[in-house]
Structure 1
Amino acid sequence: MEKNISIIGVPMDLGQLRRGVDMGPSAIRYAGIVERLEDLNYNIEDLGDIVIGRVDRKGIQENNSLRNLKEVALASEKLAKEVDNTISRKRFPLVFGGDHSIAIGTLAGLSKHYNNLGVIWYDAHGDLNTSETSPSGNIHGMPLAVSLGIGDSRLTELYGNNPKIKPENIVIIGARSLDDGEKKLIKELGIKVYTMHEIDRLGMTKVMEESIEYLKDRTDGVHLSLDLDGLDPHDAPGVGTPVLGGISYRESHLAMEMLEESKFITSAEFVEVNPILDDKNKTASVAVALMGSLFGEKLI
């Protein structure tokens, strides 16, 4: 894993209606991420936060479908450029959200540097909705579909390359809340998914072994997109769309430790930390602890 890390904050809450997730990057920094990574002998460059435009908080929807489309697209373009530049400077992009719509920009920027970018989508949700299948019009439920080239052209064609990723290079881990349209798309495209059923039945060790084996030879880089709602709300209460029965804190540490051992993670983002809904910044602290494991922190 690259020893030079660039932190990019994306304080965006435009992909949904619930307030507070825009403070996620600040909460993660406050929880001590820079000091944690510096203690692991990483060279840390904090690039600050992408500037996000403001809109009417009722949530503008174009054609009654996509909420805040123009603003999300603009922010995604800014983030894509920052991620692209970070990779060009041979640094590891570590992105803090913000809602999960920020992954549109992250993956767009990464796609300039990889022919077969792998993605581990650690999340309770598939984020594979479109304007036709989404029950809400919230773009934070669409970034994976958008990155596959499915959805509104103002998002899919953002920053060139379309699609940004291939379905056979994706592994979703922790899914337990999927809309009907997402289930259909998963089956049509053959996307590899480990639901909570598989995690309970196989165990996290087996899930991660299979995921790493599946991706290691078919990809030339692997991005980790970790939504804190992938964890059980007991361990990560400060998220906008909590779903009971999630991955445990310890299972998540094991997953991060195994990814660190694999040495194939080339970029990462941690999203959906909402301090307003949190308990004494617990969820941001969990995010920082998981990053510690991802970047090689050991008990002994």
Structure 2
Amino acid sequence: MSKQTIALVGAPTDIGAGHRGASMGPEALRVAMIGERLRRRGFDVTDRGNLHGPLNPWQPPTDGYRHLPEVAAWNQAVHEGIYGELSQGRLPIMLGGDHCLAIGSVSAVARHCREQGRKLRVLWLDAHTDFNTALGTPTGNIHGMPVACLCGNGPAELTGIGGHVPAVEPKVFRQIGIRSVDDPEKKLVREAGMDVFDMRHIDEVGMKRTMEEALAGIDADTHLHVSFDVDFLDPSIAPGVGTTVRGGPNYREAQLCMEMIADTGRLGSLDIVELNPAYDKRNATAKLAVDLVESLFGKSTLIR
């Protein structure tokens, strides 16, 4: 069997965020040697460079959305880029960029799964549920809305990316590490029946049981997509994000999470988003993210 080929796809924009700087995320991950570290693990890694899209105009919201045309353009580029890699049999890693870009990546993975007749499971590792809409958002920042848009709840420019509305059903998501949800959003998440493993759940039953629950039912016919928002991690270990929320998983919990995903052998695609070098200390958050990604691709502490 030939080596699995990984394709790194940069999406350098903070178009959907409330702080500037996530546009520098792809370069920070490259500086932290993401490609080299995965090559050392025996993968064939190709860096596709960066996708292109409009500059961030940094304008206030229009009708409840900030930068909607630009967000749509970036997500269309991401959709095509990620779908192209999957079609060639490669495992794409999107180097973000802010989390609005998951509209493009997850819709591409969903399209690929529909064509291949495979089931999709999305692990959403995040401090936030990202299920906001124009009605509930206090900011209009679209990085708080990708899950809602993917589930068909949002503007047509975003829900229609990939040509299938909704791109996915809420039941494909398992959200892990959640600890900050706006009040109107809570109602929407409950109504959608989303599986949310918040920090209280992790505190009560531990990361091991949480991951067993989140990974239950995955089989050989399942494509597993991980959308890793770096603000999933506790800010004491990962300061380099725009929206820090205290009380996230610590280093060991995050490692266990990644190792248990790796154990499934089903990882098919990955987003790394919301890394913001402007808030970081000597690229420490990028290095930590790369360390965790190595675990996601099978590095474990002991020989098992």
| C-alpha separation in 2, matches of 1:253 and 1:3 | 22
- Is the contact made by 2:14 and 2:23 (CA closer than 8 Å) also made in structure 1? yes
Q: Within 5 A, what are the aligned runs for 1:264-275?
A: 264-275=266-277
1:250 to 249, 252, 265: 252
- Would you say the 8 A contact 2:226–2:269 is kept in 1? yes
More displaced 10-residue stretch of structure 1: 148-157 or 179-188: 179-188
Give SS of 2:237's match.
Answer: coil
Say if 2:98 is the partner of 1:107: no
Is the 1:24–1:274 contact (alpha carbons within 8 Å) kept by the matching residues of 2? yes
1:240 equivalent to 2:242? Answer: yes
Alignment map for 1:93-172 (pairs within 5 Å) = 93-115=92-114, 116-172=119-175
Runs of 5+ unmatched residues, structure 1: none
Read off the aligned partner of 1:29 and give its amino acid letter: R
Specify the code of the residue in structure 1 equivalent to 2:55.
R
Distance verdict in 2 for CA 1:131–1:219, change over 3 Å: farther
Residue identity matched to 1:85: G
Q: Note if contact 1:118-1:165 (Cα within 8 Å) is conserved in structure 2.
A: no
Shift of the alpha carbon at 1:264?
1.6
CA distance in 1, matches of 2:126, 2:39: 27
- Identify if the C-alpha distance between structure 1 residues 188 and 217 changes in structure 2 by more than 3 Å, giving closer, same or farther: farther
**Structure 1 counterpart of 2:85:** 86
Matched residue SS, 1:93 = strand
TM-score, normalising length from structure 2?
A: 0.94
Kindly state the Cα deviation for residue 213 of structure 1 after the two structures are TM-superposed: 0.8
Taking the aligned partners of 1:105 and 1:156, their CA distance within structure 2 comes to 10
C-alpha contact (below 8 Å) 2:12/2:24 kept by paired residues:
yes
User: 5+ unaligned residues in a row in structure 2: which ranges?
Assistant: none
Q: Secondary structure at the match of 2:112?
A: coil
Instruction: Please show how residues 17-28 of structure 1 align to structure 2 within 5 Å.
Output: 17-28=18-29
Could you tell me how far 1:55 is from its partner in structure 2? 3.8
Equivalent residue number for residue 223 of structure 2: 221
Per-residue Cα deviation, 1:224-249 (whole angstroms, up to 9, x for no partner): 00101011000100000000011111
Q: Deviations over 1:38-82 (max 9, x none)?
A: 00010001001111211432x25322x110100010010011001
Q: What is the match of residue 56 of structure 1? A: 57
Displacement of 1:19 after TM fit? 1.1
Q: Is the 8 A contact 1:169 1:218 kept in 2?
A: no
Q: Tell me if the contact between 1:205 and 1:254 (Cα under 8 Å) persists in the aligned partners.
A: yes
Question: How has the CA–CA distance of structure 1 residues 55 and 40 changed in structure 2, closer, same or farther, with 3 Å as cutoff?
Answer: closer
Cα separation, 2, equivalents of 1:45 and 1:35: 10
* Matched letter for residue 62 of structure 1: T
Hey, what does 1:260 align to over in structure 2?
262
Alignment check: 8 A CA contact 2:177 2:197 kept: yes
> Whole-Å Cα distance in 2 between the matches of residues 279 and 71 of structure 1?
30
Give the corresponding residue for 1:36.
37
CA contact (8 A) 2:12 2:97 kept: yes
- What residue identity is the alignment partner of 2:296? L
CA distance in 2, matches of 1:161, 1:220: 20
Contact 2:171/2:195, CA 8 A, preserved across alignment: yes
Name the counterpart of 2:282: 280
Q: Which residue of 1 aligns with 2:67?
A: 68
Alignment length, in residue pairs?
297
How far apart are 1:218 and its partner, in Å?
11
Is the contact between residue 234 and residue 250 of structure 2 (CA under 8 Å) also seen in structure 1? yes
- CA shift, 1:219, in A, is 6.8
RMSD after superposition: 1.5
Aligned-partner Cα distance in 2 for 1:212–1:159:
26
